[in-house]
C-alpha cells in the first residue's frame, strides 16, 4: 500500500499516546476485495481493493464509497488524518471531516500524483488544521499553497525493532546459503528506477574483481510501476553466482535480514521524488548500526554526510560507488565509526519517542488533548492512488 511504512509509523505513535484509530485503505492495484480486520488492540482496518486493469473512470466510483465508509466509521467531530493530499486520500478525508464537522490533518509525504488535479491537492492542504511535512521541501510547498499550520515531522524509527549487534546474523546467513567468511553487501527496497539498482549492479561488477568472496543480497521486488528488471540485469552481467535475490519480506523480518550483511547500500539516483521526501529505508539502515553507503540525494543524505555517519557517493556514478564500497569493506575501523554515528543520529533526532513528543505538541496546539477516550475519534487514511508520478519504495 502506498505510504505503508509511514502510515505504520504514525499508527504506532498514536497508539503509544493512547489513541484508537480506524484505518480506511484503498488499493488500486490488487484483486477485487473488501475486508475488515483488527491491526492491533487500538487500530481497525477497512480495506477496498480494485484490480489494476479496471478502467480509471470506474475506479472513481471508489471515491464516494470511501467517503461513505469514512462517514460511518467516524464519530461526530472526529479527527481525520490523511496520508496525502491526493484525490483518493486527502479529498476523501476532507469530505468526511466536513460531513462530520471534524478536523482534517494531512501527513504530507510525497509529490502530487498524476490522478490528482492541482486544485484539489492545494485545497486539501489549505483546508487542513494541521499538516505534517516529512521534508523541508514539502514543508515549503505546503506553505506556498496557503496551508496555515505546517509542522516538520521527518521519518522516525521504532528503535526497538533494530536492536544493536548481530547476534543471529550467522544463523540467518546459513539459512540464506551465505558463507560466514563472505563479505555481504545488502540492498533492501523496491526496484523502482529512482532507486538506482542498475548503477549498483554495474558498480558491483568492479567490486567482485577487486575483493574476494563478495556477495550482494537484494531484498525486494518490482512492486510498483516503472521498475527495473533486476533479474534480467543480473543475468546480462553474469552476476548469478554473486547476487542473491530475495523476494520482498514482511516488514518484521527486515531487521533480522539486515543483520546478515556487512554493508548496506542505497544507490539512489537524482530524481524529483528523491529530493522531495527521504525514504524510510535510509533511516532504517542507519538505525541498524551496520555501515552504510548512500547516494548524496535528499535531505537525510546531506545530514548524514555532515555527521560523518555513512559513506556517501555521487548519485548515478558506478565508478564512485564501486570505489566507495571497496573502501568501506577494506577500512573496518572507519566503517564501524560511521555506523556508530549513524545509530546515534537516529537515537538523537529520528526516534519514535522524539516524534511522539512532536505529535503531542502539534495536537495540543490545535486543541486535541489526551487519549481517544477524552476526544471524539480518529479516522486515518492509507490510500494507494491508481497511478503515481513517483513510487518511492517498499517502505
Whether residue 284 is contained in a domain is answered as yes
> Nearest to residue 311, comparing CAs of 324, 323, 302?
324
269 and 132 within one domain: no
The verdict on 118 and 225 lying in the same domain is: no
Q: Residue 16 is placed in which grid cell?
A: 503509544
**Per-residue pLDDT at 92 exceeds 60:** yes
Same domain for 225 and 209, yes or no, is yes
* Pairwise pLDDT comparison (52 vs 303), residue with the higher score: 303
* pLDDT (mean) for 282-300: 94
24-38, 180-194, 263-277, 321-335: least confidently modelled range: 24-38
Residues 122 and 192 placed together within one structural domain of the fold: no
**342 shares its domain with 378:** no
Check whether 392 has a pLDDT greater than 70: no
Mean pLDDT, the chain, whole residue set: 87
Please answer whether residues 155 and 349 qualify as being in contact, where contact means their C-beta atoms are separated by less than 8 angstroms. Answer: no
Confidence (pLDDT) at 223: 60
User: Is 128 part of any domain?
Assistant: yes
* Residue 290 domain boundaries: 159-349
Asked if residue 192 belongs to a domain, the reply is: yes
Average pLDDT over residues 343-371: 91
> Is the per-residue pLDDT at 27 higher than 50?
yes
Whether 261 is covered by a domain: the verdict is yes
Q: What is the pLDDT of residues 156-192, one digit of tens each?
A: 999 999 988 777 889 999 999 999 999 999 999 989 9
- pTM for the structure as a whole: 0.86
Do 281 and 369 share a structural domain? Answer: no
Total structural domains in the chain?
A: 2
Instruction: Let me know if residue 389 belongs to a domain.
Output: no
171 and 67 both lie in a single domain: no
Q: Kindly tell me if the per-residue pLDDT of 298 is higher than 50.
A: yes
CA dihedral for 339, 342, 347, 352, sign (positive or negative): negative
**What's the pLDDT score for residue 301?**
92
Residues 6+ apart with CB under 8 A from 231: 245
Bridging pattern class, strands 79-82 and 378-384: parallel
In a shared domain, residues 134 and 260? no
CA dihedral 198, 205, 213, 394 (to 10 degrees): 0
**Per-residue pLDDT at 114:** 85
Task: Please say if the pLDDT value at position 389 is more than 80.
Answer: no
DSSP annotation of 192: B
Whether residue 186 is found in the same domain as residue 215 = yes
Residues 78 and 377: beta-carbon distance below 8 Å: yes
pLDDT range class, residue 34, cuts 50, 70, 90: confident
323-334 per-position pLDDT tens digit: 999 999 999 999
| 151 and 182 inside one domain | no
Domain CATH code at residue 58: 3.40.50.2000
Residue-level pLDDT at 387: 33
What are 343-348's contacts with CB under 8 Å, separation 24+? 343/164, 343/286, 343/287, 343/288, 343/289, 344/309, 345/286, 345/303, 345/304, 345/307, 345/309, 346/157, 346/159, 346/283, 346/286, 346/287, 347/159
Residue 201 above 50 pLDDT? yes
Domain for residue 259, yes or no?
Answer: yes
Burial class (CB in 10 A: 0-12, 13-18, 19+), 101: exposed
Residues 227-239 have pLDDT tens digits of 889 999 999 999 9
With 80 as the cut, is the pLDDT of residue 110 above it?
Answer: yes
**In a shared domain, residues 28 and 11:** yes
Same domain, residue pair 362 and 342: no
The pLDDT, as a whole number, for residue 213 is 96
Q: Does some domain include residue 377?
A: yes
Residue 104 belongs to a domain: yes
Q: What is the percentage of the chain residues whose pLDDT exceeds 90?
A: 61
Q: Angle formed by the axes of helices 299-307 and 280-287, to 10°?
A: 20
Amino acid at each position: 500500500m502506498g505510504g505503508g511504512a509511514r502510515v505504520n509509523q504514525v499508527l504506532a505513535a498514536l497508539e503509544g499516546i493512547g489513541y484508537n484509530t480506524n484505518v480506511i485503505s484503498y488499493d488500486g492495484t490488487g484483486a477485487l476485495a473488501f475486508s475488515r480486520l483488527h491491526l492491533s488492540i487500538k487500530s481497525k482496518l477497512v480495506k477496498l481493493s480494485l484490480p489494476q486493469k479496471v478502467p480509471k473512470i470506474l475506479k472513481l466510483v471508489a471515491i464516494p464509497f470511501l467517503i461513505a465508509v469514512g462517514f460511518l466509521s467516524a464519530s461526530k467531530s472526529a479527527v481525520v488524518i490523511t496520508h496525502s493530499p491526493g484525490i483518493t486520500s486527502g479529498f476523501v478525508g476532507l469530505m468526511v471531516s466536513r460531513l462530520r464537522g471534524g478536523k482534517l490533518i494531512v501527513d504530507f509525504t510525497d509529490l502530487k500524483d498524476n490522478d490528482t488535479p492541482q486544485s484539489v491537492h492545494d485545497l486539501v492542504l489549505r483546508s487542513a488544521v494541521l499538516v505534517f511535512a516529512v521534508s523541508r521541501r514539502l514543508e515549503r510547498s505546503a506553505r506556498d499553497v496557503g496551508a496555515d499550520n505546517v509542522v516538520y515531522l521527518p521519518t522516525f524509527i521504532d528503535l526497538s525493532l533494530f536492536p544493536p549487534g548481530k547476534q543471529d546474523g550467522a544463523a540467518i546467513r546459513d539459512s540464506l546459503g551465505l558463507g560466514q567468511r563472505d563479505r555481504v553487501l545488502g540492498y533492501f527496497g523496491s526496484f523502482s528506477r529512482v532507486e538506482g539498482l542498475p548503477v549498483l549492479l554495474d558498480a558491483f561488477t568492479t567490486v567482485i574483481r577487486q575483493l574476494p568472496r563478495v556477495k550482494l543480497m537484494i531484498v525486494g521486488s518490482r512492486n510498483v510501476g516503472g521498475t527495473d528488471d533486476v533479474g534480467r540485469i543480473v543475468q546480462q552481467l553474469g552476476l548469478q553466482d554473486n547476487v542473491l535475490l530475495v523476494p520482498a519480506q514482511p516488514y518484521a523480518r527486515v531487521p533480522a535480514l539486515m543483520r546478515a550483511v556487512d554493508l548496506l547500500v542505497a544507490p539512489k539516483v537524482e530524481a524529483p521524488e528523491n529530493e522531495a521526501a527521504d525514504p524510510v529505508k535510509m533511516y532504517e539502515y542507519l538505525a541498524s548500526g551496520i555501515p552504510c553507503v548512500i547516494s548524496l540525494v535528499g535531505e537525510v543524505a546531506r545530514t548524514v554526510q555532515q555527521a560523518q555517519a555513512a559513506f556517501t557517493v555521487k548519485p548515478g556514478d558506478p565508478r564512485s560507488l564501486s570505489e566507495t564500497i571497496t573502501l568501506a569493506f577494506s577500512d573496518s575501523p572507519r566503517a564501524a565509526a560511521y555506523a556508530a554515528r549513524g545509530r546515534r543520529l537516529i537515537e538523537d533526532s529520528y526516534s519514535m519517542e522524539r516524534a511522539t513528543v512532536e505529535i503531542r505538541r502539534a495536537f495540543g496546539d490545535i486543541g486535541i488533548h489526551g487519549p481517544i477516550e477524552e476526544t471524539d475519534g480518529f479516522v486515518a487514511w492509507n490510500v494507494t492512488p491508481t497511478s503515481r508520478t513517483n513510487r518511492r519504495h517498499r517502505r
